[in-house]
Homo-oligomer: A and B are copies of this chain.
Amino acid sequence: MPSEYRLKRRVQFYETDAAGIVHFSWYLRYLEEAEHALWRKAGLSIASPDATIGWPRVSVTFEYKHPLCFEDEFEVHLRVVELTNKTIRYSCDLVMGKISVATGSMTTACVQKGPDKSIKAIQIPKDISNLFQVWTSASTTQ
């Protein structure tokens, strides 16, 4: 039952802006890439073609500490920090070597998709929630 994922990543040119650094909106995408890699590690796709449930985002926060530049290699360390009946909350640290680049968090909710494109918050199905566990400092060393 995975509780974390470490994604290695290199900055692409189209992720930079005229200030010469990665645009701050990209960090949310880095977090999401790690989330989807975590789900694959759990044997799941977060958005399979025939899915009747979805995972819209409830909230996100980011603190930016050190800029990223073209071709910088960094790591996204994503952790499941809360599992409720209806939501999953992740935290993440972006690091480049020993430099702390950014920290972030995101909460996502489980919804049922109606045929009319409506969505309704529902409880997370057990066959999904059972595949994840909340990260503890002991998790990494296991």
Contact = CB atoms under 8 A, between A and B. Distances in A.
Nearest to A23: B14
A100 to B, nearest CB: 14
Given A24-B57, A58-B64, A70-B47, A29 B17 contact: no
Closest 4 CB pairs of A and B: A16-B18, A25-B28, A24-B57, A61-B61
Given A45-B71, A47-B13, A56 B25 contact: no
29 contacts: A12-B29, A12-B32, A13-B17, A13-B23, A13-B32, A13-B46, A14-B17, A14-B23, A14-B29, A16-B17, A17-B17, A17-B18, A18-B47, A18-B69, A19-B56, A20-B49, A24-B57, A25-B26, A25-B29, A25-B32, A40-B71, A47-B70, A56-B67, A59-B61, A59-B62, A59-B64, A60-B61, A60-B62, A61-B61
A60 B106 CA distance: 12
Indicate how many identical chains form the complex: 4
Given A18-B21, A36-B71, A61-B62, 17 more contacts: A12-B36, A13-B18, A13-B32, A14-B29, A14-B32, A17-B18, A18-B69, A19-B56, A20-B49, A21-B56, A24-B28, A47-B70, A47-B71, A49-B117, A56-B67, A59-B63, A60-B62
